[in-house]
Structure formats: structure tokens, C-alpha cells
Amino acid sequence: MNTTVPATDISILIVDDDSIVRDALITMLKSLGYTTFEADSGLSAIEILKNQSCDLVLSDIVMPHMNGMQLLAHIRSEFPNTDVIMATGYNEQTNYVEAIEAGAIDFIKKPIEFAELEAKLNRALRERDMVRRLEQLSLRDSLTGLLNRRAFDQRFNKETERASRQNYPLFLAMLDIDNFKNYNDTLGHPAGDKVLQGLAEILLDSTRTNVDMSFRVGGDEFALLMPQTSLEQAKVIIQRIMDHFLALGYGSTGLSIGLTSCRLCGTRPAQEEEEALIKRADKAMYTAKAQGKNQIVCDI
């Protein structure tokens, strides 16, 4: 059984102040099919990571200005999706336990042997792939397949920050299924599950793939993030979702939807602003319910 992880699209940054070591490692890694980048110091590595996403960093420990352990701490803080393997000479004092406790995923002694490096990379990348798969599962709602509340909290923070930084519009819609409890209690949970799954399919079918983000954030409550969208476009998308849902004819159910613009003003801490924006969308949704249900209320 072949347990080697395919190197396709895996990028590795080599950090060492010795050009001979870097050249040797580049030759090894390229022969295994990896994409490589190189830096001669921890400071140079940080600049590369700011502009180039890397799956893994293979770093020497003893370097001038910023040593490998300092670089490791910075990567763990600023680039959490990048894993690190530390390398050190046999006569150097930093040991395996120290490196692992500091956040490295592995530790290798220099001079580095090809077979050992290949084995460590295969193991590290298998573990990385497994962790990423588990993370993705933890962000999905098992019934609908949509992103869940945990994912919403993460993405909302990132999307509002990005929209503010790049100066483009971002809209949030909160959706609640009207009369769902009565429908669920009357016809049973399997019928209720079909309603939830039906709305999830509509959300995915009515929005832009890899642009808009759909979430199930509660029992019968959903959310939709629409970046780089005008108000009129957002209204068209929301109306399309409502029309398609009603066309499925789930008894007396309907949708109450609150829509709001999500622009950070910068007048108070970002977390407070984000919480206020979500509350605005929620309030608009509950206003829709209070006004008779099955309608859209905008708070822009």
C-alpha cells in the first residue's frame, strides 16, 4: 500500500542562512515533486509568508537576528495554517520536546538525510490532511451540508474585515422558517428535515458558487453572506430564495428574512461592530415576523 502523500500543489519554504544547505534541500524537495521557496533568515521568511501561502516551513534553528524558535512563534501567531518542521545540528542544544512544545509538527537533525526527510514530510502531510478534513467536518451541519454556526462566526469576522480593507459592499441576510415548529410537530421530524434540506439546496442553487456563503446557524435559522454585491443584487437573490421556497409548498411555512449591510465604521472595536451588525440583521428578521411573516425587511 502506498502511503506517500502526493506532492502536487504542496509548497515548502526552506529557511536557512547557509546557501549550501538551502540548495541541497531544494534539490531534495524538488525531486519529490514539491514547490519550494527559500529564505536566508527568519525576517526574510516572514516577508515571503506575507505574500505567498506555504503549506510548510522547514527552518533551521540557529540563525542571526531572528532564530528558528522566534520564527516558529511568529508563524504560529500570524500564519496558523502553515506547519513548521525545525532542523538543528547534532551539537546544538534545542531538542525535540522544546520544538514540539513550541508548536512545531516535527524536528529533524542536520545534516539532513534524504530518506529521513521524505519520511517526515509524508507523515507531516498525512497528519495535516487528516486535521484539515476533521476541521472541515467540524464546520459543516450534518443534516444540510451547509456551513454551521461555528463556521459563520469565523467567516463573518474575516469577511467584514476584508470588505472594510478592500472597500467593497457586503450584505448579511438572516432567514427563519415561519411556522416550522408546527409543521415539524404535525408531520414529524423526517418531514421537517426535508424542509431544512430543501431550503439548504435553494440557498446553494440561488447564490454564487465560491463567492456567497450559506450557513445553518440554528434549528430553523439560516444565514447568507453576500460579498461584492449591490443592495439591488442582494434583494434579487433574497427574493429568488423566497420564491423558490414557497414554490415547494411546505404547508403553511414561509420565510422571514432580515437583510443588512455589513460595513465596519471603525468607531469602536471590530468585535463590537460585528456583533451589532448581526443583531441588526436578526432584528430585521424578527420585524418581518412581527409584521405578518413571510416577508423581507431591510435595515441598511
Q: Which residues are catalytic?
A: 220
Q: How many CB atoms lie within 10 A of CB 230?
A: 11
Distance (Å, whole) CA 246 – CA 231: 23
* N-terminal to C-terminal alpha carbon distance within the chain: 58
Distance (Å, whole) CA 162 – CA 165: 5
Distance (Å, whole) CA 115 – CA 38: 21
Longest dimension (CA), the chain: 76
Distance (Å, whole) CA 169 – CA 274: 15
Distance (Å, whole) CA 107 – CA 83: 12
Set of cell numbers at residue 85 = 518542521
Closest CA to 16 of 52, 74, 57: 57
How large is the angle between the packed helices 270-290 and 149-166, nearest 10 degrees? 110
Grid-cell match 450584505, residue found: 171
